Amino acid sequence: IFKGSTDASEFVAQEIAALIKNRQQEGRTCVLGLATGSTPTRVYAELVRMHKQEGLSFKHVYTFNLDEYYPMAPDSLQSYVRFMNEHLFNHIDIPKNQIHIPDGTLPKEKVSEFCKNYEKKIDELGGIDIQVLGIGRTGHIGFNEPGSTEKSFTRLVTLDQVTRIDAASDFFGEENVPRKAITMGVGSILKAKRVIMMAWGEGKARVIKKAIEGPITDQIPSSFLQKHDNCLVVLDDAASSELV
Ligand code: F6R
């Protein structure tokens, strides 16, 4: 628990940078699982700073983003492809072919094959080394809404109404928020070697309490992280305020 989200974000960026540097020294690649939304933006800003000022290189880093709205064109204002490019990828030296983000442009009949391949690619690269997560007010991680089981993998899902309301301002009205998304599953997330979940602000305090101190239940998919043996939760004071 950190006083503010800036220090907390710098800490998370340091953890990621340490992994990248260690692997580079060993001559090995590393695999990052990445999230979008407001929570990780300062982590990405700090990684960009480390790249520009300290020479942190992403040449041997592979990334897999958790999710993307469906349908979604990559150049749309709300696209997670665009988000990642603007916040991270355009500013670092990662080869483009090492970046993976669920494809919101696929025809429906191609989605399930794409999802299977997404899992396969992660496995072939040796699995995710660090999975970065935010948490939604429904308790979602990725877009695994209530009802998502611990055996869920990358798939097309229906967004919860609370999640669509939370996204409404990005889309200039709830009616414009897509009803579906492609997301990595709870099972995909639990397979990561290390998980770092972050939350900032008092708006997240109630769901953080449920996820960490409540029963493990598919009604709060983030509560399955209690079963992971290498999961770190990084909070600011406000997000931790309801914890015992
Ligand atoms: C985003 C994602 C979501 C967000 C969550 C919190 O890729 O997977 O689970 O992490 O909705 O969003 P923010 O950070 O905007 O509060």
CA distance linking residue 103 with residue 152, whole number of Å: 18
Q: Is 86 a catalytic residue?
A: no
Which of the 8 DSSP states describes residue 184? -
ipTM above 0.95, yes or no: yes
Residue range 149-162, pLDDT digits in tens: 999 999 999 999 99
For the chain, what are the domain ranges? 5-240
pLDDT number for residue 36: 98
Most informative mutation of 140, 163, 225, 235 for ligand 1 (most atoms within 8 A of CB): 140
CATH topology of domain 5-240: Rossmann fold (3.40.50)
Q: Model-level pTM? A: 0.98
Asked if residues 129 and 193 have their Cβ atoms less than 8 Å apart, the reply is yes
pLDDT number for residue 198: 99
Which of the 8 DSSP states describes residue 10? H
With a pLDDT cut of 70, the percent of the chain lying above it is 100
Per the omega criterion (within 30 degrees of 0), is the bond before 74 cis?
Answer: no
Residues 26, 145, 202, 213: which is the catalytic one?
Answer: 145
Centre of ligand 1 from the C-alpha of residue 238, in Å: 17
Residue range 71-126, pLDDT digits in tens: 999 999 999 999 999 999 999 999 999 999 999 999 999 999 999 999 999 999 99
- Largest distance between two CA atoms of the chain: 50
CA distance linking residue 75 with residue 202, whole number of Å: 32
Distant-in-sequence, close-in-space partners of 168: CB < 8 Å, separation ≥ 6: 174, 176, 177
